[in-house]
Amino acid sequence: MSTLDHKLLHDIGASRGQIAAIALVVACGISVFVAMLAAYRSLELSQRAYYRANRFADVFAHLTRAPRALEARIAALPGVATAQVRVISDVSLDVPGREEPATGRLVSVPERARPRLDDLSVRAGRYLQPSDRSQVLVSEAFANANHLHVGSLIGAVINGRLQHLRVVGIALSPEFVYEIHGATDIWPDSERFGVIWMGERALSAAFDMQGAFNDLEVALAPGADEQAVVERIDALLARYGGLGAYGRADQPSHRFLSSELAQLRVSATIVPAIFLGIAIFLLHLLLSRTVGTQRTQIAMLKAFGYGNGAIGLHYVWYGLVIVASGALLGLGAGLWLGWILTRYYGVFFHFPILRFQAGIGLLALTLLLVALAGVAGSLAGVRSAMLLPPAEAMRPQPPARYRPALVERMGLHALLPSPIRMILRNVERAPLKSLLSCAGLALGVATLVVGRSSFDAIDLMLAHQFYVIEREDATIAFDHTVSLRASHELAALPGVIRVEPFRAVPIRVRKGHRSRRIALLALDARATLYRIVDLRGRVLQPPRQGILLNERLAQALGVRPGERIALDVLESARATRSVRVAATVDELIGTTAYMERGAAARLLREGPAISGAYVGVDARERTALEAALKRMPSVANVAFRDRTIANFRSTIAQSLAVSTALLILFATVIAFGVVYNSARIALAEHGRELAVLRILGFTRGEVTLVLLGEQALLTATAIPAGIVAGRAIALSFSAAYSSELYRIPTAVSTTTEAFATLVIAAAAFVCGMLFQRQLAALDLVGALKIGE
């Protein structure tokens, strides 16, 4: 090894604290990068393999009823490679061991062969046999959540009669990677919703659909135009009550998976970028300082004949070694985190095989990234080392130039003790460096704020949805539209205090060529258990004339209050009406339009009919109520609000705990990195002065104050700046993630701000304390003798 390399090793050893700090920052950034990208890749590859192996369809359509013979015609349409028809229906399930009814989606599958499209992956048990009548396969998540296994019996209310189905197999399907009930749900509720695959003949017979189908799936031929195929299918199915075909992009499960993957990609770029930016800054600081300290040595080396290139390269190596060590740590941590993240996704997205794979490409990309960061950080230092004229190094440096600080120029200097003045002037002397240090800390604060604010936002959404909008104790949904007198029936059930019925209809709203599929919710004018509340907390009444649309939806359609839109009723009795937009509302979830119930009945040209009701329940009689509801054939779904909230919370709590821990870790690493490096460098720069102060009789504490005071001032400035920046970033995130469907509110609670402040302040404080110990060993004597 050459002497320069020896020097390198020695230098590294001398600054090992600072290097460790920088390496940690790099490690954090790289670990996030690797973890997210690896998880992304794993999910994406698993998704692709799954879709291909199980022949996931491209186009889907639901309809009221059409003869099976139509299948051949559809398969013969241009652009269609394969077509498959099925019967699908949602039914109420009586699951052993569960008090309230669950909802099951019955899907027909051929008894004699596997489905042509959307094939099942059988996880336990077996596929159906031709002799099976009431034997079924059940989706894995539902089975696990309800402790069902091969041989279990489930009750299903099919066409008003309770039938018992026997589970012969547990399976997964690419249609239900994300198993949600409907397009308007957000969370999968594996306990209360599951998929059941039943033999075609048995299912058709049970629903009086022999020789008919109500659901269609199509695989496109290579190069086919999806939109064209959709239009052809719509034309064909229109007279059978077709509700409009759609492609994968609108298929609920796929849509969620895709958006999740997209978000992963975005996160995988932003977060590492922040960390690496900070790392580059710190590296720059360290290297510049090191070069500054080693001026004499460099000059000597040059005097002895080492070329500029060799010296420059030497310092580049310095930078690279630092980032490389961080990268190695980050890579290891990232792979581990990525594995955990992938498994975590596996809880929500159900793949038969979810393998964690991090390819060579990812590693190569990481190394390249790291190398770039290392070079960028070392650039300035290397440059100054290379440009240093040898002679100048030999002279002692004159005292650095200072000016009175800004604050003093404002006339306040009498108030400030000398140490404060020193600090202020130090800060002002190198404004860029101070600013960057402050910015780095502020980013740490902002990271905490943004990270935690997403949970604040969820909290706010939760509170808004479940405490302000919804105040019902339970929501009861029927399996078909029933007469209004059912609400009296509900009122007579044990424990029911108040009943507010509603009518829900899937509709499509159209203005010109733009259309959206949403739901129409018709409420009582004086509804109190479920209210329409906008984001500002204003309560709106469902309009007696016209329709109330979500603001963003209205914008997307290009329609304003007072104008008319076309409304297609997507229920069995299809119809098209024209309706006036009464007003718009700025809501959290934008998939619903509202009307007053009577007005809706007039619009639909029907008598008073309801789809369900919101009820207030006496807690003491809840068990009796649940039992009674289970026995009602027409009740398809019962959801108790407190259970929904608890589910929500417990699902979020896990990720909240993990996220918070990670956030704290990251922010601490950043804060530590910045404060430690700044303090070390300040010590290097002002060490002599500080020693002089000690000699002059200043106590250790007072000297520490001077040194760390600068860091404290930077931290104190960085915290509010970081909070402001965090708020701004949170705002832009919520704007970016908001869509027509969901508005993510920006919510930064004072707890979050306090949390961010505390973590950063604590990190800085601990760092300072560690530092103080180093100060104690300040070499007083040496400071006097060895001049700069």
- Tokens 């229906």 map to which residue? 89
Binding of another protein at residue 643 (CB under 8 A)? no
* Residue 396 makes contact with another protein by CB under 8 A: yes
Per-residue contact flags (x/-) with another protein for residues 656 to 695, judged by CB under 8 A = --------------------------------xx--xxxx
Which range touches another protein (CB under 8 A), out of 178-186, 313-321, 495-503, 658-666?
A: 495-503
Which of 223, 142, 219 lies closest to 180 in space, CA to CA?
142
| Selected range binding another protein among 354-362, 385-393, 496-504, 730-738, rule: CB under 8 A | 496-504
Q: Which is nearer to another protein, 656 or 658 (CB)?
A: 656
* Nearer CB in complex with another protein: 513/620: 620
Q: Which helix (H) or strand (E) holds 769?
A: helix 750-776
d(C-alpha 200, C-alpha 87), whole Å: 7
Return the residues of window 62-91 that contact another protein according to CB under 8 A. Answer: none
Q: Rule CB under 8 A: which of 151-170 touch another protein?
A: 160
Both tokens of 702, joined, read 């007072």
Locate 601 and state its tokens.
């009945």
Q: Which is nearer to another protein, 492 or 657 (CB)?
A: 492
CB closer to another protein, 124 vs 540: 540
In sequence order, what are the residues at sequence separation of 6 or more whose Cβ sits closer than 8 angstroms to the Cβ of residue 281?
Answer: 377, 436, 439, 440
The tokens describing 284, both together, are 């720059």
CB of 329 to another protein, least distance (A): 35
The residue (of 251 and 550) whose beta carbon lies closer to another protein is 550
Bridge partners of 414, per DSSP, are: none
Site for another protein in 301-320 (CB under 8 A): none
Phi, psi of 210 (to 5 degrees): -60, 135
Stretch that binds another protein, among 95-103, 360-368, 478-486, 737-745 (CB under 8 A): 478-486
* Contact map string, positions 235 to 274, toward another protein, x by CB under 8 A: ----------------------------------------
What number of chain residues touch another protein (CB under 8 A)? 84
Q: Which stretch binds another protein (CB under 8 A): 79-87, 365-373, 492-500, 675-683?
A: 492-500
What's CA 67's distance to the chain center, in Å? 43
- Distance of alpha carbon 74 from alpha carbon 85, whole angstroms: 10
Minimum gap (Å) between residue 739 Cβ and another protein = 24
Near another protein by CB under 8 A, which window of 57-65, 230-238, 480-488, 570-578? Answer: 480-488
Provide, rounded to whole angstroms, the least separation between the CB of residue 360 and another protein: 49
- Who contacts 585 (Cβ-Cβ below 8 Å, separation ≥6)? 532, 534, 540, 548, 549, 550, 551, 594
Q: How far apart are CA 519 and CA 243, in angstroms?
A: 13
Residue 766 as a binder of another protein (CB under 8 A): the answer is: no
Length of the chain measured in residues: 788
Residue nearer to another protein on the CB measure, 164 or 488: 488
CA distances (Å), origin 727, targets 439, 745, 752, 756: 15, 12, 11, 12
CA distance 64 to 243: 8
Give residues 398-417 in contact with another protein (rule: CB under 8 A): 398-404, 417
Question: Nearer Cβ to another protein, position 273 or 462?
Answer: 462
Find the helix packing angle between 750-776 and 700-737, rounded to 10°: 150
* In the complex, minimum distance from the CB of residue 404 to another protein, in angstroms, rounded to a whole number: 8
Q: Which stretch binds another protein (CB under 8 A): 98-106, 136-144, 147-155, 488-496?
A: 488-496
Q: Looking only at residues 726 through 755 of this chain, which bind another protein when binding is defined by CB under 8 A?
A: 750-751, 753-754
For another protein, which residue of 102, 499, 600, 778 counts as binding (CB under 8 A)?
499
- Given a contact cutoff of 8 angstroms between Cβ atoms, the answer to whether 27 and 20 are in contact is no
Residue 464 phi/psi, 5-degree rounding, is -65, -45
Closest separation in Å from C-beta 716 to another protein: 9
DSSP string, 270-320: HHHHHHHHHHHHHHHHHHHHHHHHTHHHHHHHHHTT--HHHHHHHHHHHHH
Neighbours of 721 (CB within 10 A): 17
- Of 74-82, 241-249, 384-392, 489-497, which segment contacts another protein by CB under 8 A? 489-497
Q: By C-beta, is 69 or 430 nearer to another protein?
A: 430
Residues 534-573 that bind another protein (CB under 8 A): 537-541, 543-544, 546, 548, 561
As given in the structure block, the two tokens for residue 697 are 């009789």
| Residue 129 lies near another protein (rule: CB under 8 A) | no
